[in-house]
Amino acid sequence: MTTTLSPAKDPMAKTTSKAGSTRSRSRNRATAESMASKQREISVSEFFAKNRHLLGFDNKRKAMLTTVKEAVDNALDACEEAGILPDLFIGVLQISETRFKITIRDNGPGIVRAQIDNIFGKLLYGSKFHRMKMSRGQQGIGISAAGMYGLMTTGKPLLIISKTSKRKPAHEVVLKIDTRKNKPEIVSDQEHPEDDVLFPDGHGTQVIIELEGRYQKGKQSIDEYLEQTAIANPHARITYVNPNNETIEFPRAVDELPEEPIEIKPHPKGIELGTLIQMLERTEASQVGAFLQNDFCRVGPGKAKDICGKAGITNRTWIKNIGHGEAEKIYNAIQEVKLTGPPTNCLVPIGSRALLAGLLKEVKAEFFAASTRPPAVYRGNPFQIEVAIAYGGAMAGDESARVLRFANRVPLLYQQSACSSFKAVTETSWKNYNLQQPRGGVPTGPLVILVHMASVWVPFTSESKEAIADYDEIRKEMKLGLKECGRKLGTYLRRRKRMKREAERRSVFERYIGEIAQSLSDITGEEPSPIYDALLEQARQRTEEADHQLDEDGNVIDDGGRLAADEDVIIIDNAVSVENGDDDADTPTGDLLFEDASPPAPAPTKKRVTTRKRVTKKKVRRKKTTTRRS
Amino acid sequence: MAKKNTARTSTKKSTSKKSTSKKSTRKKSSRAGSPVSKERDAATIDKIQTLGTKLVKSSLSRIEPRVDIPLRTSSNTSYNTRKRLLEMGDAKQQRSLFNLGMSRKFMQTVLLANGCRRLIGEGKTLSLRGMYYMSKHDVKGTKESTFNDQGESDPILEDLEVTLNSLREELHVFAKKRGTMVGNITIVDNGDEIDCRRMGTGGYAIPSICEPSVIQFKKCEADFVLHVEKDTVWSRFNEDRFWEEHNCILTEGSGQPPRGVRRLLHRLNKELGLPIYCLLDCDPWGHYIYSVIKQGSINLAFESQRMAVPDAKFMGIRASDYETCELSDDVKISLNDRDITRAKQIAAYPWFESKKPWQKEIKQMLRNGFKMEVESLITKDISYVTETYVPERLAAEDFLD
C-alpha cells in the first residue's frame, strides 16, 4: 500500500532548470538527468513522518492524546464487531519529565499472529477503508502512526501482546516500522502459553507505546477524552490510571451492545468522477449494467438501463471499452437519473436512552433531554444526528455552555470552531429557551450540549479527525435536534421558574402571617394561634404548586393534571427527560433513569433489562394519558 | 388706634381672669391628651375593632382576608358643583394578604391599625414619624423590617384614614408643624390662651391638629384673613404691621398649606365668618394652592368637607399685574415645559373650566410666557406689596373667585 507522490515534484524541477539557464551559465546547474537520479518514490510512512501534524501529532501533549484516542477507537471497534462488551484499561506512566509509557488493553477478540505485523507496522493497512460501514476508525492510519511517532521520538519499538482464545497462547511481538519501506520490522516474537493475568476473558490485545509527551489535565486532555468516550459509549467500562497514579473508573451504564452496523455499497450520487473511474478499473463485473447493479446500492436493472441510456451506451457495453469520455458520460447520467436515497439501516445511533444514561453518569446536572433525528443523506452518504443536553445541577452557571462533539461515538476535542456542530449550536437561538446567549456565540449557563453524528463516512476537515465538515444537510439536522432539546429545556426552565416564584410567594406570605395574627389578636382580643394556623393553611393552599418540587427526591414532577393541563408535559417520543431537584441526592447513575422512584437497589444485569422494559411500557401509558388529557 | 389698645388690654384682662380656673382644666386635658372628644375616640376604636373582627372572621373561615380601601386618585374624585368642593367617589381598591404585591402592605395596614388603637387607648398622640417608629420592628424570624422608612408608613396611614373613615386627628396622629399666624385674634390652644397680636417676628406656629377640642377662638376683631404663600412674604407683612393697620389675620402655609392651616382657615371662615383672601405667586403652583384651599385636594378629597373654603378669593399676583403695576422685566421668570403642561391641566379641572375669569387668567399667563413671584413686587419698592398692592386690591375688591 504505497502511494506515489513524486509527480508533484516534476513541475518544480522544470522551473528550476529554466531559471538556471537564464541567469548564469557559469554555475554548475542541475540537469534533467542529474535530477532524475534523485527523483524517487516517497513512502506514505515517510510522508506522514514528516507531516505528522496531519495525523494529530502536532505537539507533545496532543500526540499523547492522539495515541490514546487511536488505540481506544480501535479497541472499541474490535470489541463491538466481535460482540463483546468492551472493558478497557488505559495506563499512562510517566518515566521521565517528557517521556511516557502508554498502555492500552482491551478484552476484544485479539489479533491473529500473522496480522499483527501489518496492523501495527504498516500505515494505511486495515479493514475499514474499503467498506461503507459505520465505525470509529476509517483509514487504518491511526495506531501505526502512533507507533511510528513513539519510535521516532524515543527510538523504542511497539510492544503488542494479543490472545485470541483461551486455548491459544498469547503472542508478544515487539516491532518497529521501517518508514522508508512502510513495512514492519520484527524485533522479537515470543509466545506466552499461560497468560491469563492480562486477559481474564481469554482474549484481548494490549499495546504499549513509549513516547515523548506532556501530560496536563483540563481541556483537551486524555482525562476529558476518556470522560466523553464514556458518555458516548455507555456500554463500555473504562479503567484509567493517570500519570499521578490515580485510578479513575468509568462504569458501564448500559449492558447492551449497540447493534452491529450493516455494511453498504456506495450510493451512485455520492461518488466523484475519479472514484467512478477507479471503481470501473477494479470491478469484477464485465458489463456496465452488472457493474452498476453490483457495485452500487439503490441501482436495479431498470435504473441501470436508464443510466446507460442517458450515457449513450447499453447495459451490455463491455467495461474494458469504457474510456474516460464514456465514464464522464456515465457520471453525468447518474446525476440526472432519479435515485432512492441510500439505505439508512446501516446507521446505528447511540440512542436517546443510552445517550442519556451516558450523560447521567458523567455530568451532574438536573435536567437531561435527548433527541435522535431520523436518518438523512449528504452527498450520497447516509448519516444521523443525535443531540442531548444537560442543564443545571452542579455546573457553573456563568460560563459558556460546554459543547461535546462526537463522530461515530468518538469525542472530538480540537478545532471546535471549525466544526459543523459548533456552528449549529451558535446559530440556534437559545434565547427562545430561556437561556442567555451572546451574539453569535454559545449560550451561557450551566449547560452541556452534546452533538453526535453517526455516518458510514464522517466528513472530517482533516486526517486528524478533529472537526466535522460543514455540509448544509448536516448542519440543518443538527440544528433541528438542538431545537428539539432546547424546547424541552425551555419548558422545564419555565416550569422551574414558576415553582421558584411560588416558593417565594409562600415564604413572603408566611413571613407576614405572624405579624398579622399578633396585631389582629391585639385589636380583637382573640387568641393569635388559631388565626395564625388558619392563615398559614390558606397560604399553603394558595402556593401548593411550590410543593411539587419540594416533594420526594426530585423525580419527574407530575401532579395529576394541573401542570399537564397548562403547557408542561414533556411528550416523550424516544427521549426520556429526567429532572433532579436536589443536588445533595446521591449521584445519579444510569439506573436512575429506568427506575421509577423505587429505591434503586443494585440490581444484577439481567434484572436491569427487565426494569427497562417495564418503564418503556409505562412511558407509553403516560403518553397516552397525556393525549387524552389534551 | 385707641380701639385697638382697649382690645389688647381687654384680652389681657380676660387672660388673667381665667388663668386660675383654666389651670385645672388644662392639666386634665393634657392628661387625657386626646385631640378629639371621648365619644369620637370610642367610635374610632370601635371602627378599628370592626375591621379587625372582619379580618379575623374571614381568616378563620378560610376566606382570603382583605381590606377595601377607597381610592385616592383623581379618577375617583369628583367636583360637587353645589357644595363647590371635591368629593371622593366610591371606587375601592382591595388589599389582600395573598397577593404578592400587596402582602407587605396588608401587613403594614394591620400593624398601623393596631398602633392607632393603642394610641387612642392610652390617650396619647404621636407624629407621623413617631407612628413609623412605633410600628417598626423586624418581622419575626427574619431580618426584614416591617417599615423601611417613613415614606412607607405615611401613605398606609392615609389609607387607614379613608378605610376607617376616620380623620388623622381621630387616630391620634399629627404631622410636623407648618404655617404661621398673626393678627387680631386670641385663641386657646390646649388650654393656653394665645394672643396672636403679640407674637413678635416669629408668629404663632399653626399646629397640625386644629380641631375645636384643641383650639378654640376666644376673641376676634379681624375683618378678614390674608393668606400668603410663603413665610418670607408673611414676614414682610408682619414687619410692616399690615394686620394691625388693616385689622386682619395674616396666615402663611409654607407653599402647599398643610392640613392644620387649611382646617384653621376653614374654621375661621365658617365659625367667625371671615372672608379669606389669598396672595399667591402667579404660576401654576400658586393657582393650585388656591385650588386646594378652595376646593380641597385630590389626595384628601375625603376631608374637603372640613377643610375646603369654597368662599376663598384669589387676590394675586395676576398675570395682568405686569402691565397694570408697571413692573420691570426683572420680575419675569420664563415658564418651562412642566409649568405649561401643569397650567393646561389646571385649566382643564372642572372647577376651573367653568370659570371664565380663570380661563382668561391662565391664558394670559401662558401668553405672557413668564411667571411672577410675590417677592418680585419688591422691585417696585420694599413695601410696595403691603402699602400699595394689597390695599388697592382690597379697596377695589378686585379678586378672582
The one catalytic residue in B79, B132, B133, B389 is B133
Of A508, A524, A538, the CB nearest to B62: A538
pLDDT tens digits, B5-24? 444 444 444 444 444 444 44
Tell me which residue of A446, A468, A466, A448 sits closest to A457, measured CA to CA. A468
Contacts with A, B 264-283, CB within 8 Å: none
Which of A200-204, A219-223, A333-337, B222-226 is modeled with the greatest confidence? B222-226
Alpha-carbon span A291 to A271, nearest angstrom: 14
Residues of chain A with C-beta less than 8 angstroms from the C-beta of B142: 511
Report the C-alpha gap between B154 and B130 in whole angstroms. 11
A586 pLDDT exceeds 50? no
Looking at per-residue pLDDT, the higher value among A581 and A474 belongs to: A474
**pLDDT at A592 exceeding the cut of 60:** no
Inter-chain contact A539–B98, Cβ cutoff 8 Å?
A: yes
Q: Say whether pLDDT at A5 is over 70.
A: no
Q: Please determine, for residue A423, whether its predicted confidence score (pLDDT) is greater than 70.
A: yes
Q: What angle do CA B360, B362, B368 make, to 5 degrees?
A: 100
Let me know how long chain A is. 630
Q: Which residues of B touch A504 (CB under 8 A)?
A: 100
pLDDT confidence band for B268 (50 / 70 / 90)? very high
Q: Which residues are within 8 A (CB) of B178 and not within 5 positions of it... i.e. 6 or more apart?
A: B206, B253, B254, B257, B258, B260, B261
Interchain pair B106, A512: CB under 8 A: yes
Strands (E) across B242-364 are located at 248-252, 276-279, 313-316, 333-334
Q: Identify all chain B residues contacting A505, using CB atoms and an 8 Å cutoff.
A: 100
- The reply to whether the predicted model has a pTM over 0.80 is no
pLDDT in tens, A327-376: 899 999 988 888 888 888 888 888 888 888 888 888 887 788 888 899 99
**pLDDT tens digits, one per residue of A130-176:** 667 777 876 656 788 888 888 888 989 999 999 888 888 888 899 88
Residue A120 is predicted with a pLDDT of 83
Q: Which among A515, A530, A539 has CB closest to B107?
A: A515
- Closest CB to B113: pick one of A508, A523, A535: A523
Interface contact B201, partner A, CB < 8 A:
no
**Is the pLDDT reported for residue A583 higher than 70?**
no
Q: In chain B, which residue's Cα lies nearest the Cα of A527?
A: B56
Give the mean pLDDT of B31-35.
Answer: 57
By the 10 Å C-beta count (0-12 exposed, 13-18 middle, 19+ buried), B176 is classed as exposed
The helix-helix angle for B150-164 and B103-122 (nearest 10°) equals 70
CB contact under 8 A, B142 and A511: yes
User: Which residue would you say has higher pLDDT here, B397 or A622?
Assistant: B397
pLDDT at residue A103 in the model: 94
Nearest CA in chain A to B102: A509
User: pLDDT at position A143, please?
Assistant: 83
Instruction: Determine which of B100, B110, B112 to mutate to test the interface with A (most A C-beta atoms within 10 Å).
Output: B110
For residues B32-52, average pLDDT: 83
Nearest chain A CA: its distance from B146 CA (Å): 9
Query: Inter-axis angle of helices A528-542 and B38-60, to 10 degrees?
Result: 50
Q: Which pLDDT value is given to residue A612?
A: 33
Kindly report the average pLDDT of chain B as a whole number: 86
Task: Check A519 against B114: CB less than 8 A apart.
Answer: yes
**What per-residue confidence (pLDDT) applies to A547?**
59
pLDDT of A628 > 90? The answer is: no
Statement: residue A20 has pLDDT above 60: no
- Cα A512 → chain centroid: 55
Angstroms from B89 CA to nearest CA on chain A: 29
Which of B97, B117, B142 has the CB atom closest to A509's CB atom? B97
- pLDDT value, residue A100: 94
pLDDT at A30 over 90: no
Confirm whether B204 is a catalytic residue: no
Residue pairs spanning A and B at CB distance below 8 A: 76
pLDDT above 70 for A490: yes
CB contacts, 8 Å: B49 with chain A: 523-524
> What are the residues of chain A with a beta carbon less than 8 Å away from any beta carbon of chain B?
504-505, 508-509, 511-516, 519-520, 522-524, 526, 530-531, 534-535, 537-539, 542
Q: What pLDDT is stored for residue B264 in this prediction? A: 94
Q: What percent of chain A has pLDDT over 90?
A: 21
A520 to B52: CB separation less than 8 angstroms, yes or no = yes
